[in-house]
Amino acid sequence: MIMDEQEVDFPPVPVMGEGVDWTYGMRREMQEIIPGLFLGPYSAAMKSKLDILVDERITHIVCIRQSIEAHFIRPNFPDRFKYLVLDIADTLTENIIQHFPKIKRFLDDCFATGGKALVHGNAGISRSAALVIAYIMEMYGLSYRRAFFLVQKKRFCINPNEGFAQQLQEYEPIYQARRFLQNGHTSHSQRLKRSLEDTDESMETCDRFT
């Protein structure tokens, strides 16, 4: 069930100017998607890039890796930045929705204190892009399609795998219903609550078979 946009208040999408003139080499750099939120590859968070991170006033870093990648994708500056490390495989069956609340809390805390965040995986194309898209969807009340193009406008190479894309589309009514209830709306609230509970139970069932 999709809420009417007038029923749920969302902040306006920030204007970040036109899209960048994309070049292949920019895949190895981070880009600012919305004010204070950067998306990029692991190479943007390596020790050699400390000066750039400091110049951009990064305070928080989300490091996304699968356990087998931990030996080369890791937090390089635990004393300089606050990290959130997530174990996510870039596979069609990976449940990425379960990580959306964690990254939202982490980024909300970052921005509430005036910080800036970098979200990175290995290439900055699939896993990290999916998480940034999810955050922007929930932050501004956007559909997956609109959020995808907003992110792609700044980092042209993003390409969440098909499983992630499907989950992001399924997440749209979930976050809208939760926002609707959090705003104190009483109309249809019990029906929405039951729908959310059914969705959560279905997600848990899917987890057992993946």
198 occurs within a structural domain: no
**CATH, residue 142:** 3.90.190.10
pLDDT per residue as tens digits for the range 171-190: 998 888 877 776 665 444 45
203 occurs within a structural domain: no
Residue 166 is predicted with a pLDDT of 97
**91 neighbors 60 (Cβ within 8 angstroms):** no
208 occurs within a structural domain: no
Residue 12 is predicted with a pLDDT of 77
Answer whether residue 33 shows pLDDT above 80: yes
Q: Which two tokens stand for residue 8?
A: 């749920």
User: For the chain, what percent of residues have pLDDT higher than 90?
Assistant: 69
Among 23, 20, 22, 168, which Cα is nearest to 100's? 168
**147 neighbors 130 (Cβ within 8 angstroms):** no
Mean pLDDT across the stretch 130-159?
95
Domain that holds residue 158: 28-172
Mean pLDDT of all residues belonging to the chain? 86
8 occurs within a structural domain: no
Residue 42 is predicted with a pLDDT of 98
Mean pLDDT across the stretch 137-155?
94
179 occurs within a structural domain: no
Tokens 């992630």 map to which residue? 164
Residue 176 is predicted with a pLDDT of 83
- Confidence grade of residue 195 (pLDDT, cut at 50, 70, 90): low
149 occurs within a structural domain: yes
184 occurs within a structural domain: no
Counted domains in the chain:
1
Whole-model pTM: value is 0.81
The CA-to-CA distance between both ends of the chain, in Å, stands at: 26
Please report the beta strands in the chain, taking only residues with DSSP state E, as ranges in sequence order.
Answer: 31-34, 37-40, 60-65, 82-87, 117-120
- Confidence grade of residue 28 (pLDDT, cut at 50, 70, 90): very high
Axis-axis angle for helices 144-154, 162-182 (nearest 10):
120
CA angle, corner 63, sides to 57 and 65, nearest 5?
Answer: 160
197 occurs within a structural domain: no
Q: Exposed e or buried b for every residue in 59-84, given b needs 16+ CB within 10 A?
A: bbbbbbbbeebeeebeebbeeebbbb
Q: Which two tokens stand for residue 93?
A: 């069956």
Residue 6 is predicted with a pLDDT of 42
pLDDT per residue as tens digits for the range 71-121: 999 999 999 999 999 999 999 999 999 999 999 999 999 999 999 999 999
For 19, the 3-state DSSP assignment is coil
Answer whether residue 3 shows pLDDT above 50: no
